[in-house]
Structure 1
Amino acid sequence: MMLVARLFVSFFKIGIMGFGGGYTIISLASHELLKNNWVDVGTFSDIIAISQMTPGPIAINLATFTGYRVAGILGAVVATLGVVSPSVLLIMIFAELISRAEKHPIKEHVFYFLRPVVLGLILYAVFLLVKGAFLSTGAELSVEIGGNAFYVPAVIVFFISFFLIRKLRLSPPFVMGIAAFFGVVMHFIGNALF
Structure 2
Amino acid sequence: MIYLQLFLSFMKIGLFSFGGGYAMIPLIQKEIESHGWLSASQFVDIIAIAEMTPGPIAVNSATFVGYKAAGIVGGLIATIGVATPSLVLILIVSRYFFKFQDHPVNKMIFYGIRPVIVGLIFSAAVFVAQTAFLKEITVLNLSYMLENFLYIINFKGVLIFAISLICLVKFKINPILMIVISGILGLLITI
TM-score higher than 0.5? yes
Structure 2 Cα separation of the partners of residues 25 and 171 of structure 1 = 27
CA deviation after TM superposition for structure 1 residue 99, in Å: 1.2
**What is the match of residue 88 of structure 2?**
89
**Contact 1:53/1:173 (<8 A) preserved:** no
Q: Which secondary structure does the structure 2 equivalent of 1:124 belong to?
A: helix
**Contact 1:12/1:86 (<8 A) preserved:** yes
**What is the match of residue 171 of structure 1?**
174
> Higher helix share goes to which structure?
2
Out of 144-153 and 63-72, give the one that drifted further. Answer: 144-153
Residue type of the partner of 2:64? F
Q: Which secondary structure does the structure 2 equivalent of 1:103 belong to?
A: coil
> Higher strand share goes to which structure?
1
**What is the match of residue 150 of structure 1?**
153
**What is the match of residue 133 of structure 2?**
134
- The answer for unaligned runs of 5 or more in structure 2 is 138-143
Residue type of the partner of 1:122? I
CA deviation after TM superposition for structure 1 residue 183, in Å: 2.4
**What aligned pairs does 1:64-83 form with structure 2 within 5 A after superposition?**
64-83=63-82
**What is the match of residue 188 of structure 2?**
185
Structure 2 Cα separation of the partners of residues 5 and 55 of structure 1 = 27
Q: How many residue pairs are counted as aligned between the two chains? A: 182
**What is the match of residue 5 of structure 2?**
6
Deviation by residue 1:130-183 (Cα, 9 ceiling, x = unmatched): 011111137xxxxx9625501101001001111111121112221111111222
Q: Which secondary structure does the structure 1 equivalent of 2:153 belong to?
A: strand
Structure 1 Cα separation of the partners of residues 134 and 77 of structure 2 = 32
Structure 2 Cα separation of the partners of residues 127 and 182 of structure 1 = 22
Residue type of the partner of 2:26? S
**What is the match of residue 15 of structure 2?**
16
Matched, 1:31 2:34: no
**What aligned pairs does 1:97-116 form with structure 2 within 5 A after superposition?**
97-116=96-115
**Percent of aligned pairs with the same residue?**
39
Residue type of the partner of 2:134? L
CA deviation after TM superposition for structure 1 residue 81, in Å: 0.3
Q: Which secondary structure does the structure 1 equivalent of 2:161 belong to?
A: helix
Matched, 1:45 2:44: yes
Residue type of the partner of 1:172? P
Structure 2 Cα separation of the partners of residues 14 and 72 of structure 1 = 20
- The answer for unaligned runs of 5 or more in structure 1 is 139-143
Root-mean-square deviation (CA, aligned residues, Å) is 1.5
**What aligned pairs does 1:109-124 form with structure 2 within 5 A after superposition?**
109-124=108-123
**Contact 1:18/1:25 (<8 A) preserved:** yes
CA pair 20-74 structure 1, distance change in 2 beyond 3 A: same
Residue type of the partner of 1:151? N
**Contact 1:7/1:78 (<8 A) preserved:** yes
